[in-house]
Amino acid sequence: MSLAFLCGTELLDDETREIRGAGGFHEQSPVMRYQYAKFASWAGVGVSALLDPATADGHRDRARAERVALTAAMLGIHDVLGVHGIRPAVLGGFGTGALAAGCLAGALPREELFALLLDGMGGMGGLEGTAGAEGADVTDVADVRDAPDVRQDGRGPGQARAVVFLPRDRDPEWYAALDPRRVRVGASLGTEPDGTCRVLLLTGDAEALTALAGEAPEGAVRLSGGHPAVLHSPLALTEHERAVQRLRRLEFRDPEPPVCSCLEPGTLTGAGEVRDLFGRCVAEPADIGALVSGLAEQGTRLALVLGPSLPRHVIDFPFPVVHVDAPERVADAIASLLEYGVGVPTPG
């Protein structure tokens, strides 16, 4: 039986909110400080901006920091766990988390991943005159429901997102009645703890999503602001072609450990498969059920979520999950390893 690492993505954002937990890890862990110095150098911003993009100097630095802040946290926390001897047998993720998972498996160097994200991987657009949006702190259904509505800037198709709470007896394609050309499902995130609502991530045109929120029951559609665009957007076909061309110029390696796909059930073991996943994640919707199925088939007995990258109590996992989003959660992870018989960590 094996241990899995899970990497998520930004769902909603709050302009005043830092990457929860990253600062604590940075204060307590020499490994985290060492890695963040490198990450900041690659991003061209200060370390403090990566920990809290709202503190960045100027629009440009904030935009760059937001683009990679959550990814930096996931990579850094991975390394902190490694110091404690906690290493995964399989990795998986969706959104930028799918890219981070491939990187952590050694399929692509970290600096190359940062370059992809800063350059607009996923059709996010260049950083000139834009503001990215990595690093949402969404760790519970209540956090999503209570998050403030944020207006979009209307940059065009595939450039906005919304988290939707849809009653299970409603057709998941209900949104298409409003404008099927401008709004699509980017990911299915499972159900609420009581099973009453299906949780979806919609992607599409900002104006259309705003109109959709106005038509839906209060609180059912929560808009996410500040995103130039988003992965898993079926409307981003042009951006997909651009990403594929960029990825062809990069050298990928066979992942070790393997990576589970978030697009369909399957485990990726070859360099070409991971390259294909990176490109397809731009415009193809994520299937979290497929990701979970793949992890289960790999014998996953316990999964650790890296950083504040997946909402709690939304996805119905068939195995225990520990969210390592603060330094004290490392002890919880070690205790869970022993409790579920995954193995005894070997520091080093």
pLDDT tens figures, 110-155? 999 999 999 876 444 444 333 333 333 333 433 433 333 333 333 3
Q: Flag whether 124 is in a domain.
A: yes
Structure tokens at 232: 């898993």
Task: Look at residue 271 in the predicted model and tell me its pLDDT.
Answer: 98
Task: Look at residue 272 in the predicted model and tell me its pLDDT.
Answer: 96
Nearest to 67, CA basis, from 291, 204, 259, 229: 229
- Backbone φ/ψ region at 87: left (φ over 0), alpha (ψ -120 to 50), beta: beta
| Residues 6+ positions from 320 with CB-CB distance below 8 Å | 301, 302, 303, 336, 340
Residues 214 and 253 in one domain: no
Distance CA 6, CA 88 (A): 10
| Residues 6+ positions from 345 with CB-CB distance below 8 Å | 84, 85, 86, 334, 337
Q: Flag whether 230 is in a domain.
A: no
Amino acid, res. 94: F
Task: Look at residue 189 in the predicted model and tell me its pLDDT.
Answer: 78
Count of domains observed in the chain: 2
Structure tokens at 217: 């029951």
Q: Flag whether 346 is in a domain.
A: no
46 bridge partner residues: none
Q: What angle do CA 230, 168, 284 make, to 5 degrees?
A: 25
Domain harbouring 24, CATH code: 3.40.366.10
Q: Flag whether 59 is in a domain.
A: yes
Task: Look at residue 132 in the predicted model and tell me its pLDDT.
Answer: 34
Range 13-50 burial, b when 16+ CB lie within 10 A, else e: bbeebbbbbbbbbbeebebbeebbebbbebbebebbbb
Task: Look at residue 150 in the predicted model and tell me its pLDDT.
Answer: 32
Q: Flag whether 158 is in a domain.
A: yes
Q: Order across the sheet with 183-191: list the strands.
A: 221-224, 160-167, 197-204, 183-191, 286-287
Whose structure tokens read 């491939």? 102
Structure tokens at 231: 């992965």
**Domain end: 200, 224, 248, which one?**
224
CA distances from 167 to 164, 200, 286 (A): 10, 11, 20
Residues 204 and 257 in one domain: no
Domain harbouring 169, CATH code: 3.30.70
The range of the structural domain enclosing residue 112 comes to 2-133+235-339
Residues of the chain with pLDDT under 50: 13-17, 122-158, 227-229
Q: Flag whether 302 is in a domain.
A: yes
Q: What are phi and psi of 140, to 5 degrees?
A: -155, 155
E strands in the chain: 2-7, 90-93, 160-167, 183-191, 197-204, 221-224, 259-260, 267-268, 286-287, 300-306, 321-324
Distance CA 3, CA 303 (A): 6
**Domain end: 166, 191, 224, which one?**
224
Q: Flag whether 229 is in a domain.
A: no
Residues 179 and 327 in one domain: no
Our measurement of the distance from residue 233's CA atom to the centroid of its chain's CA atoms, rounded to an integer in Å, reads: 14
**Domain end: 179, 194, 224, which one?**
224
Task: Look at residue 137 in the predicted model and tell me its pLDDT.
Answer: 36
- The sign of the torsion formed by the CA atoms of 242, 248, 254, 256 equals negative
Reported as half-sphere exposure (CB side, CA atoms, 13 A), residue 188 has a value of: 17
